[in-house]
Amino acid sequence: MNAIPRLLMDLALVLGVGTLTGLLFRRLKLPLVLGYVLAGMLVGPHVPVPLVADEHNVKTLADLGVILLMFGVGLEFSPKKLFQAGPTALLMGSIQVGLTAFVGAVVARAFGRTPMESLFIGAALTISSTMVLTKVLEGVPVPRSLRDAALSLTVVHDLFGLLLLTVLAAVAKVGSLEAGTFWSLMLRLGLFLGVVLLLGRMVVPRFLRWMADHASSELLLLACGGLCFSLAVGAAAAGFSLALGAFLAGSLGAESGRVRAIERQVGPLRDLFTAVFFVAVGMMLEPSAWRDHLGLIIGLSMAVVFGNTLGIGAGGLLAGLPFQTSLRTGMVLSQIGEFGYIMLGVGIAAGAVGQELYSVGVAVGVLTAFASPFLVRASGPFSETLEARIPSRFRASLGLYQAWAESLRRRGIRHGEGQELRRPTLLLFLDTVLLLGLVGGGHLLLTRWSEWLANRVDWGHFTAQGFTAALIGLGAGLLVLGMLRQVRVLARDLAVLAPSPEAVGSGRRGRHLLAGGLRMAVLLMVGLPLVAALQPFAPKGPLLGVALVVFLGTLGYQLWKARRLNREVPGVLEWILAKVSDPWAGEGASGTPAHGTLRAIRLGPRCPSLGRRLTDLDLSGRAGVSIVALLRNGQTSVALHPTPVLREGDLLALAGPEHALDEAEALLGMPLDSGKAH
């Protein structure tokens, strides 16, 4: 009898156990990914179960899963989808990625991990799991606005995941944080991407389009597989990751316009080996590492929930989304996904990350995935309670800012207007690159240049290093000030483009609020990822202190300016009293024409919602509007916590898109088009 190849036996074992655990987790209404991880633990060497697969064989099969998984991600990613996600998702994603990476790296350093390991851990925490998110949203009903915001962020996460994976693979290839070698490798990466994308866009989309239209499905599958694995191997041969080449192959395939045809052929194969990949993830888990690193696991899990909730919530507010939608989106996306496992795997393969950290990362992924359904269910009551406790002055400012931001987002930047924005954007980019180079090369300057300076000027080594650190700190401070200057110009030019959402009473003050919020948005969007990227490169001691003082000082200055604007909030309520919609005033009454993104509605004697609690209507969750204020007896602001009961004559001020305001009026008891101008 011929001997059965061990690879076939391992494949049969992995697929069989994975099927059983997958059925169990499906029965329990849990993400299948966790079932595959459990299957890996059962067939792995670290659990005393007599089902042990060869780790090297499964690792080879898992590489196939990574390649096909990233090909699928690239196939679903396109500039069109990124454009549809828009600046709102990009702003939310940038702030969240920077904040979560920074907090995760700080937690890792607090538990004694090296700067290199902290860099990988922080990056691995930033990208949410699309698989877990999809499963959670299937089981927990959420408003459409929340679902759309979360799914648009996954597109941005794919982009950030690829960038982080590419940079981390380059860092792992170098084996250290030496700036000179790192930047030379990044130059090679740029050349590789340029050649592949330039030549690939000329040939691949046309070829795949012809294959999909004229060839058989088998040949289309062979062509896609050949493209996928060829670019993956080419990227690995060039010194980069297999995942990068597979993603590029998928993105080139998406340009063919035959995504559905390709997906039908590649999809089942991708799903099969993606399951094998997660089984391989489970095989690398060491249960003893969970016990030994329990504090680190809990700390990193809290960093994911805190960083994602706060980062996405702040980004959503600065983009003009309602408070509840912003906060709930962050809580919905508080889990880590497959990109994180791939990043840690790259670090382990290069020897940059300890093997035990893979178990830590997967434990964080399992813990946050289990917590996701509970976080989604709790996000509604939590955000509602938190919003009700917002001080009335800040709420009024926030509502006015949201109305102006929605007005700018709805208008967009028209043809020819972008020329005014190019100069500050370009200068901001140049300042950012120079700051990266200055701080990233700080270690080289503090060692080699300080040594040369000490010998040249006959200074002591300590004096030369101190002088060099002072120069670097001075240069970093000047660059940060230059960045702030360009941020201010960019925010001002954007605010000028926004049309006033109301004709009466909110023009100058509302535009000032918008400019201040845009300054904060751009500052956080650029600053947080910059700090997260620079913290492993930054030397210890005085230079790090100077950099942190400069950054926190400038951030505090922006917050101080925003607080000054909040002191003017009593005047913000002018628009509420200036133009009121009164649809339920009495017999024969008709509503004042309502338009724009701000609306004040008087609850007349015929309003069906009189006597109901405001939270029972759930205007924020069901209509997607922000409750700016509730005025009673003419101008007295009513606290929203505990929830008030609506009375005759109350004036309810709302902010949001016009269709959301219409829906809110309908929920209050008014037909959708009543009270509107015809």
The mean per-residue pLDDT over the stretch 609-637 comes to 76
Counting Cβ atoms within 10 Å, is residue 203 exposed (0-12), middle (13-18) or buried (19+)? exposed
At 440-499, the pLDDT tens digits run 666 666 666 666 666 666 666 666 666 777 777 777 777 777 788 788 888 888 887 777
Sign of the alpha-carbon dihedral angle for 153, 159, 165, 167: negative
Sheet bearing 626-632, strands edge to edge: 598-602, 651-655, 626-632, 636-637
Q: Which of 42-46, 112-116, 534-538 has the lowest mean pLDDT?
A: 534-538
The CA distance from 34 to 95, in Å, is 28
Distance CA 603, CA 66 (A): 58
Is the pLDDT at 305 greater than 90? The verdict is yes
Helix (H, G, I), strand (E, B) or coil at 631: strand
- What pLDDT does 571 receive? 46
Stretch 379-404: mean pLDDT: 82
pLDDT band at 649 (very low <50, low <70, confident <90, very high): confident
CA nearest 119: which of 154, 156, 161, 167?
A: 167
Q: Could you tell me the pLDDT band of residue 140, with boundaries at 50, 70 and 90?
A: confident
The answer to whether the CB of 444 falls within 8 A of the CB of 518 is no
Q: Following CA atoms 78, 84, 89, 90 in sequence, which dihedral angle do they give, to the nearest 10 degrees?
A: 60
Question: Distance between CA 351 and CA 342 in Å, rounded?
Answer: 14
**What is the CATH T-level fold of the domain 61-387, as seen in this structure?**
Na+/H+ antiporter like fold (1.20.1530)
pLDDT value at position 536? 65
| Mean pLDDT over each residue of the chain, to the nearest integer | 78
pLDDT for the residue 545: 62
Report the 10 Å Cβ neighbour count for 233: 14
Beta strands 598-602 and 626-632 are unpaired
Q: What is the pLDDT at residue 614?
A: 81
Tokens of 157: 């996460």
pLDDT of residue 457: 65
Lowest mean per-residue pLDDT among 52-56, 210-214, 384-388, 432-436:
52-56
Q: Which residues contact 461 (CB under 8 A, 6 or more apart)?
A: 450, 451, 454
Predicted pLDDT of residue 460: 64
Tell the residue number behind the tokens 């007599």, with chain if given.
50
Q: Which of helix, strand or coil describes residue 636? A: strand
Is 346's pLDDT higher than 50? Answer: yes
> To 10 degrees, what angle do helices 242-254 and 179-214 make?
40
- Peptide bond preceding 268: is omega within 30 degrees of 0, i.e. cis? no
Nearest CA-CA partner of 212 in 266, 164, 167, 170: 266
Residues of the chain within CATH 1.20.1530.20 domain(s) are: 61-387
**179-214 helix and 144-174 helix, angle to the nearest 10 degrees:** 130
pLDDT in tens, 157-209: 888 888 888 778 777 765 555 555 566 666 777 788 888 888 888 888 899 89
The burial of 11, by beta-carbon neighbours within 10 Å (0-12 exposed, 13-18 middle, 19 or more buried), is given as middle
Domain with CATH 3.30.70.1450 in the chain: 579-667
Contact 40, 283 (CB under 8 A): yes
Cα angle 439, 444, 447; round to 5: 125
As a whole number of angstroms, the distance between CA 102 and CA 123 comes to 9
With H, G, I as helix, E, B as strand and everything else as coil, classify residue 188: helix
Burial label for 53, CB within 10 Å (0-12, 13-18, 19+), is buried
Percent of the chain with pLDDT over 70: 78
Choose among 558, 557, 554, 514: nearest CA to 530: 554
Distance separating alpha carbons of residues 644 and 333, to the nearest angstrom? 31
Mention every residue, 6+ apart, whose C-beta is less than 8 A from residue 470.
542
Total residues belonging to the chain: 678
Which pLDDT score is estimated for 593?
A: 46
* Beta-bridge partners for 601: 581, 652
Per-residue confidence at 673, pLDDT binned at 50, 70, 90?
very low
- The CATH code of the domain at 579-667 is 3.30.70.1450
- Higher per-residue pLDDT: 81 or 434: 434
CA distance 191 to 240: 12
Q: What are the helix and strand counts (H, E) for the chain? A: 27, 4
Q: What's the CA gap between 35 and 544, in Å, rounded? A: 44
Instruction: Give this prediction's pTM.
Output: 0.75
Residue 142 to residue 621: CA distance in whole angstroms: 9
Q: Given this model, what pLDDT does residue 304 score? A: 93
- Dump pLDDT digits (tens) for 350-377: 787 888 888 888 889 888 888 888 898 8
Cα separation, 173 vs 347, in Å, equals: 9
Cα–Cα distances in Å, from 57 out to 13, 35, 430, 497?
Answer: 12, 20, 47, 59
298 pLDDT tier (thresholds 50, 70, 90): very high
Residue 28 has pLDDT above 50, yes or no: yes
Predicted local distance difference test score (pLDDT) of residue 104: 92
Quick one: CA torsion of 83, 88, 94, 97, rounded to 10 degrees? -100
Give the pLDDT confidence of 532-584 residue by residue, as tens digits.
Answer: 777 766 666 665 665 566 556 655 665 565 455 444 444 445 555 555 666 66
Tokens of 247: 């993603």
Question: pLDDT value at position 86?
Answer: 72
